[in-house]
Amino acid sequence: MMDYATFKAVAEKKILDYFPDSFKNATVEIKPITKVNKTKDAITIFADDDMKITPNFYLDDMYEHYKNFEDLEEVFSKVAASYVRELEAAKDFRLPVFSKEFVSENVFMTMVNTESNKELLMNAVHRDINDCSVIYRIMVDNSERGLASIMVTNDIAETAELSEQELFLAASENTKRILPAKIMNMKEVIMGTMTKDGMPREVAESLIGSQEEMELPMWVITNESGINGAVNMLYDENLQMLSQKLNDDLYILPSSIHEVICIPASMGEPEQLAEMVNEVNMACVCLEDRLSNQVYHYDKDLRKLTMATDTPNKGIGDMVAEQSLIYEAKEQKR
């Protein structure tokens, strides 16, 4: 089996062999891309100088696929097929002009871990909140093709003539419209997973029991898409509604950048909860999805969100979870 360095070299040299003949004059470029929580090697195929959008494929994801099956031809063939398919789907897509009006209407918020994203935050307009940072993204496509957004860099903000405060105010309102919050009890989440996999609802209900029968009443805060929904913990109305429903303060467990879990503060100790969050992060959550190993506290009377723990040496690093073959569309730069 090839090591990663060898795989990378072979990919750069051989991957075009799996593309249609129309790509025979294409060029291959591999370069590091700063992503949430990590830097990834992206491979890009430049087939046409007039193209504005082209998919990126990430070599570490491709390598994980190769390690699982040890079939180089299958990996490269899938990348080529995906590239051609996505290129066709995106051929009529045009990036908008990032005017002040467009950005103001389409900017929304997401949240990342501050310590693990120092390099990304150097080029991103952001706001630090506790051990995390709010970053801003512009929704450029929300259709049957899926969601597509671009991070607001310092350059984009300067072009749009928008300050961080202006972005924050606009994004605070837009996020509720573009990606509305969704709050569910854990029973609903488990039920949805079971029925989605084909289990009859009555069978799932008998297996799960009632929310009250669960050892801890847990509630999930995310958004309608289930993507980048953890930022909804910053909206006081979400936490206040839940704390009033439970008649208690809340402990908030950052299970990923996509969602957080809330429990009544009277039913857990923050240090033990933080240890649980850390263990789940390290064992089950992909590195790029991790938000924090800390626990937060919401005081329902003061209506204030603070950190309940600040455990040293509990960073979210340490790669564990296996990745799938993924790609993203990005603006082509030569």
Give residue-wise pLDDT tens across range 132-155: 999 999 999 877 767 889 999 999
pLDDT of residue 192: 67
Long-range contacts of 324-327 (CB under 8 A, 24+ apart): 324/61, 324/64, 324/65, 325/57, 325/61, 325/62, 325/65, 325/75, 325/78, 325/79, 325/82, 326/57, 326/58, 326/61, 327/55, 327/56, 327/57, 327/58, 327/79, 327/82, 327/83, 327/86
Top pLDDT among 325 and 78 is at 78
Q: Cβ(218)–Cβ(280) under 8 Å? A: no
Instruction: Assess contact for 251 and 308: CB atoms under 8 A.
Output: yes
Domain residue spans of the chain: 4-94, 100-178, 181-223+229-307
* CA-derived radius of gyration, the chain: 22
Instruction: With a cut of 50, say whether residue 157 has pLDDT above it.
Output: yes
Whether 104 shows a pLDDT value over 50: the answer reads: yes
- Name the pTM for this structure: 0.85
Looking at residue 332, what is its pLDDT?
36
Average pLDDT on 32-51 reads 88
CA distance 106 to 139: 5
The region of weakest confidence among 29-38, 90-99, 245-254 is: 90-99
List Cβ neighbours of 89 (8 Å cut-off, separation of 6 or more): 145
* Of 257 and 208, more confident: 257
pLDDT band at 94, cuts 50/70/90?
Answer: confident
